[in-house]
């Protein structure tokens, strides 16, 4: 759990790039972890260069967070017999991002906190989601857990 970001008053939300596109994969967990550990209120992240392009400046002494980009490219090679072979080459690139809370001079939209959805609506949405999974869910006890032997939550 946590449902909030410690010192910040807002809920933990999915980390977003400077353009509003959500992060995916392991980057979500990396950035959530940093948001909680450092008490950031903003869910927006950007590189040093992106901050400058948006008119901001990373505050002196701030440290960034490493995220990863995984992809692949196709390289064509010609064999000794003249046959062309395509190889799919995976790669992983790391880069550093800063939270909008670490950057001075950004436009206001980078510091807006999304409105909190009505709690009853969220409970209804979650209930529909779990009902659609077909999982056997039991309520009771003192902790949340999955019972693997009996296959129920």
Instruction: Give the domain ranges of the chain.
Output: 1-75+87-114
Long-range contacts of 11-19 (CB under 8 A, 24+ apart): 11/116, 12/36, 13/43, 13/114, 14/43, 15/43, 15/44, 15/45, 16/43, 16/44, 16/45, 17/44, 17/45, 17/46, 18/44, 18/45, 18/46, 18/47, 18/50, 18/51, 18/54, 18/110
Q: What angle do CA 29, 153, 13 make, to 5 degrees?
A: 25
pLDDT in the model for residue 1: 40
Please choose, from the candidates 3, 80, 93, the residue with its C-alpha nearest in 3D space to the C-alpha of residue 47: 93
DSSP state, residue 134: T
Please choose, from the candidates 57, 55, 59, the residue with its C-alpha nearest in 3D space to the C-alpha of residue 107: 55
Check the CA dihedral 1-67-117-121 and report its sign: negative
What stretches in the chain show pLDDT beneath 70? 1-12, 112-122
pLDDT in tens, 126-135: 778 878 888 8
Is 32 within 8 Å of 12 (Cβ atoms)?
Answer: yes
| Tokens at 85, concatenated | 């072979």
| Tokens at 38, concatenated | 């450092």
Is 105 within 8 Å of 85 (Cβ atoms)?
Answer: no
């Amino acid at each position: 759990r946590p449902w909030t970001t410690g010192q910040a008053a807002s809920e933990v939300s999915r980390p977003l790039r400077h353009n509003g596109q959500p992060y995916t994969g392991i980057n979500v967990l990396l950035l959530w972890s940093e948001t909680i550990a450092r008490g950031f209120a903003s869910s927006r992240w950007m590189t040093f260069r992106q901050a400058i392009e948006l008119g901001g400046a990373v505050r002196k002494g701030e440290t960034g967070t490493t995220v990863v980009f995984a992809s692949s490219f196709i390289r064509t090679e010609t064999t000794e017999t003249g046959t062309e072979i395509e190889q799919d080459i995976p790669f992983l690139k790391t880069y550093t991002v800063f939270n909008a809370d670490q950057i001075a001079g950004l436009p206001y939209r980078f510091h807006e906190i999304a409105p909190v959805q009505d709690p009853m609506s969220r409970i209804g949405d979650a209930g529909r989601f779990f009902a659609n999974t077909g999982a056997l869910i039991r309520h009771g006890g003192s902790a949340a857990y999955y019972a693997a032997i009996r296959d129920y939550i």
